Chain A
Amino acid sequence: MTYIAKPKIAHPSLPKNELGLTTRDYEGVVSTLCAGCGHDSVTAALIQAVFELDIEPHMLAKMSGIGCSSKTPAYFVSQAHGFNSVHGRMPSVTTGAYAANRDLTYVGVSGDGDSLSIGVGQFVHAIRRNLNMCYLIENNGVYGLTKGQFSASADIGSKPKKGLPNQQEPIDPASAALALGATYIARSFSGDKEQLVPLIKGAIMHSGFSLVDVISPCVTFNDHEGSTKSYAHTREFYKHVANIDYIHPSEEIKASYAEGDAMPIHLHGGDTIVLRKVDRAYDPTSRAEAFKLLRERYNAGEITTGLLYVNDERAEMHELMHNIDTPLSQLPYEGLHPGGDELQKLQSRYR
C-alpha cells in the first residue's frame, strides 16, 4: 500500500552526506509494485543519486504521469514535493513548474507508454525547449496496469505472453531524443546500479534536458522467453560504451584514467563528469557519431548503454528566454505592474 510509511530507523553506522542525512532520509513509502520489478531498482538508484548529490529533500520536485513508473515518486524522498499528473502530461506540468521556480531540482519519472505513446508530443517538446530536468523512462516495452499490451518501445519480433509477436517499428527514446536535440542522453539497465547511479547524478547536474532511458523489465507481463525486454535478454545483449564518474565540486579527480579512455566534461554548475569509454574511438559529444553508434548496435541486436551523448554548451529554457534569475514565483507584486499613473498614460492610444 502506497500510504504505508517505512519505519525510520537509521543504523548509526550508515554514512551521512554533507547535509548530515542518510539514505533513509531519502526514502519514500513502501512500494506496491510487483516483487522483482525493475522500477524498484531504479527507485533505489535514484535515492542513492540524490543522497550523494546532497540535494535538500524539499528542494526536489518529483514529477510523473500515469502508469507503474509514474507511481514510483511516492517511493522515494518523502520530504520532496510530488506531482502525479495525468497520463502522458508530466512534461508540460514540469515545464510550468520550472517556469515558475528555477531553483528546484526536477526529476520526472515516466514509462514507455507514458512517454512514447500518449505523451509523445509533450516528451518531444520538452526536449525542444531544453527544459532543465532529469527525465527517466522506466522502459519495459509493455503496459502493466492494463495487463500486458505492447507499448511503442516493443521491438519487432518480441513475443507477448499471449498472441502474436510485435510487428511495428519500435520508438527508441534515446534515438528520438538525439534527433530532437536533447543535451544529455544516457541508457542503462535497472539491474546495473553501478552504471545507473552516476548516470542519474550526471543527468540531475546537467543544465538542460537529460534523458535516462532505463531498461526496467516487467516481471509479470514481459519477462518470458522471446521478450526482448526481459532480464535474461537484457543481460545477454547489453553493452557499455561510455560510462561516467561524477566528480563532486569539492573533490579532486583522484582516480587515474588511461589517456584516450577518459574525457572530463565540465558542467555548468561547476561539477565535472569523467567519461570512461569502453569503446576508445567513440566520441559522445558528437551527435552524428551517437546516431551511427545507436543504429549500428541496434542492428547488431545489442542494447547500447552508458552516456550516449552530451552537449553542455546549449542554453537551457530560462537562458534561452532571457528570464530573470530569481524564481518568478518569488517576485514581489509591487514590481510586476507599472501603477495607476502609467495606466492612464498607456491608454492614450485608445482615445
Chain B
Amino acid sequence: MASTNDVVIKIGTVNGTGSASANGLLRKAIFRMGVPVVGKNYFPSNIQGLPTWYEIRVTGDGYSCRSDRVDIMVAMNAQTYARDLAEVEPGGCLIYDSTWPRSSLLNRDDITIIGIPLSRMCNEHFDGARARILMKNIAYVGAIAALLDVDLEIIKNLLEETFSTKQHLIASNMEAIHLGYNYASQNFPCPLPARVEKMDATKGHIVIDGNTAAGLGCMYAGATVGAWYPITPSTSLMDAFRTFCSRYRVDPETGKRTYCIIQAEDELAAIGMVLGASWNGARSFTPTSGPGISLMSEFIGFAYYAEIPAVIFDVQRTGPSTGMPTRTQQCDLISCAYASHGDTKHVLLFPADPEECFYMSPQAFDLAERLQTPVMVLTDLDIGMNDWMIPELEWDESYVPDRGKVYSAEDLEGMEKFYRYLDVDGDGITYRTLPGVHPKGSYFTRGSGHTKLGAYTEDSAEYQEVIDRLLVKWETTRTMVPDAEIRYSKFNKAAILTLGSCDGACKEALDRLEKQKVGLNYCRVKAFPFTAAVREFIDQHEVVYVVEQNRDAQLRTLLINDIEADQKKLVPVLHYDGMPINAGSVVRGVLEEISKGRAA
C-alpha cells in the first residue's frame, strides 16, 4: 500500500510524443523536495508509435530498485489502457484523458478513476498540433502535482532553468501545469492520502544514468580515442563522452580537439581501432552491448595473447541473438569472461550503479594498462539508461593514471636489448614499449605463437612457457581488482551473493527478509577474477543464494570455474524476464528455496 513518500507513479504513453521531458520534470521536482526517487524507462525498440512507460518510485527509505507495485497509473495510451488499468494496486488510482469517453467495461471498483480532459483543455489553450501534444504531457504533470502535493514553485524553478533562453516557453509550460493542477484540485479530493512530503534526504546527491556517468568517467580518466558502433543500450555512453569532450577538450583558440571519436563500420572495426590506439599508447575504449561482444571476440582473444590494453563497456541487454534490445539482463557474463577461441579469460568489472560507472572508468583504464589486457566493464540497460540517485561525484585531484610497465626512451637507451614478453618482475606482467619512442624498443606484435623474447614460434615448450606465464598474470590480477562488498555476521548460515545492478533489489530484499526473521549475509562481487575474500565468504556459509539476471546462472558458473566454489552450496535465484530485478523477486526466490528445506 502506498503511504506518504512511498508512492509509485507509472506513466503510459506512446513513444515519440515528447513525454520524456514531462516525466523528467516530475521526477526532478520530487527529488528537489528532498525525497529520494528512482526513474525507470520501459521503452520499445522503435522510434514512434509504440507503447512506452516511465516509472517514478518515490522512496523515502532511499531504495534504489524498481518497485513491485503501481499506485498511480497515468494511462495516456488507449492501446495499453486495459493492461495499465489491471496493473494498479488495489486502493490506487488511475488518471486518464477524459476528453473522450472510456468504455465502462474497462473499469475497476477497488481503485479511484480520475478523468481529466487533458486534450480538450490543451486544444483550447494552445495552438499547433505539436504544442498541444507536448502540453498535454505537461498538464498531466500538473494534475499529479495536485494529487501528490508536489511543490509548484519547484516545478516553476525547474522550467526556468530548462528554458532560460526561451522565456515564452516558461509561461506556456506553467499554463499547462496549472490546467492540470487546477482541474484535479477542483474536481477531486487533493492531495491523496499517500502523497509527497518535503524531506531532507537528497542533499549532496544527483540523479544520473550510468552511461552518462561512464562517459564522464572516461573523460576524467584521460581517454583520448573512442571507437564505437552504435548499439542500444550503449549508444548514450559515447554520446555523453562526446558532449563532455566537446565542452572540455576543444582548444578555444584553434578549435582543435584533444580527442578522437571514430564511428566504426562495425564492432569488429571498433575494437580493432581500440587495440591500434592502445598499442600506440593512447587510452582508448569502446562501448557496446552483447551482439557487439560476439563480433569483437576474435580481437579480444588477440589482445589477451598479444597483451594489449583495451577498455570495453558492455551495456548488457536481453539476449540471445537480437533478443529484446530495450530490455535489461546480465546475460553476457560467460561470453565476456571467456571471449574468443583458445584458452582465454578476461578481467571484468561489475559496477552496481552510475556512481560506480564513474569511478570504475579510470580504474578500468588503470587495470587495462597495468595488466596489458582487455578489461570489460559490464553494466546493463537498467544501470546505463535509467535514472539513479547517487551521491555527488567527486574527483580525487591526486589521481595519476597508472600507465603500467612501459619503458621510456631513457630506459631503452641504457639497455642492451629489449624483449617484449620477458617476465622480469615475476608477476606475470611484462614490459612493453610504445612505437616511435626509441629504435631499441621495436618489437613485433602478433597473435601467432611467440616466445618470451617476442619471436615467432611453433615450438611446444616455447609456446607453453608464454601461455603459462599468462596464468601467473591472472593470479596477479586477482590481487589487483576491486574487492567485493561484504556484510557479514557470524550468526547467519546463509547468504546472498550477487553482482551489478542486483545490488539495490538484494539490499531491499535483505531488509524485508529481516522483518520475516530471515537473516542473511551479503556479498556483492565487483570483479572477475574473484578475490580471495569471495572464496572465503562462500566457505563461511552453508548456503549461498546466487542472485543474478540471466537464465543459466552464469555468475554461479564463473564461481565454480574460477575459484572452484562448492557448487552444491550455490543456489541460483534468477530473474531474467527483461525487466529490472526488484526486491520482491529476490524475496520470493529465497523463501521458495527455504521452504524446500534450504538453510536460512
Contact = CB atoms under 8 A, between A and B. Distances in A.
Interface of A: 1-3, 56-59, 61, 73-74, 78-86, 89, 91-101, 103-104, 121-122, 124-125, 129, 318, 321-325, 327-331, 333, 335-340, 342-344, 346-347, 350-351
A58 B302 CA distance: 23
Contacts of A94: 276
Determine chain A's interface SS by DSSP, over half rule: helix
Contact of B276 (A95, A121, A327): A95
B439 interface: yes
B455 A3 contact: yes
Given A328-B224, A329-B434, A340-B397, A85 B256 contact: no
A329 B207 contact: no
B393 A84 contact: no
A59 B276 CA distance: 15
Given A93-B273, A103-B436, A328-B282, A81 B445 contact: yes
Contact of B225 (A83, A96, A340): A96
Given A84-B446, A125-B269, A335-B258, A79 B298 contact: no
B463 to A, nearest CB: 13
Given A61-B435, A328-B225, A329-B281, A347 B397 contact: no
13 contacts: A85-B447, A91-B269, A95-B273, A96-B275, A101-B436, A122-B268, A125-B265, A129-B262, A318-B260, A324-B257, A327-B280, A329-B434, A337-B248
A210 B247 CA distance: 34
Interface string B269-295: 111111111111110100000000000
A324 B251 CA distance: 9
A58 B439 CA distance: 5
A85 B254 CA distance: 36
Contacts of B262: 95-96, 99, 129
Nearest to A347: B206
Contact of A97 (B280, B302, B397): B280
Given A96-B227, A336-B219, A347-B206, A85 B272 contact: yes
Of B264, B280, B298, B397, chain A has the most CB atoms within 10 Å of the CB of B280
A331 B280 CA distance: 13
Contacts of B282: 99-101, 328-329
A23 B577 CA distance: 65
Contact of A336 (B207, B224, B275, B276): B224
B69 to A, nearest CB: 27
B447 A84 contact: yes
Nearest to A334: B222
Interface in B437-453: 437-439, 441-448, 451
A344 B446 CA distance: 44
Contacts of A83: 276, 279, 445
B461 interface: no
B280 A329 contact: yes
Contact of A124 (B222, B259, B265, B435): B265
Contact of B299 (A89, A331, A342, A351): A89
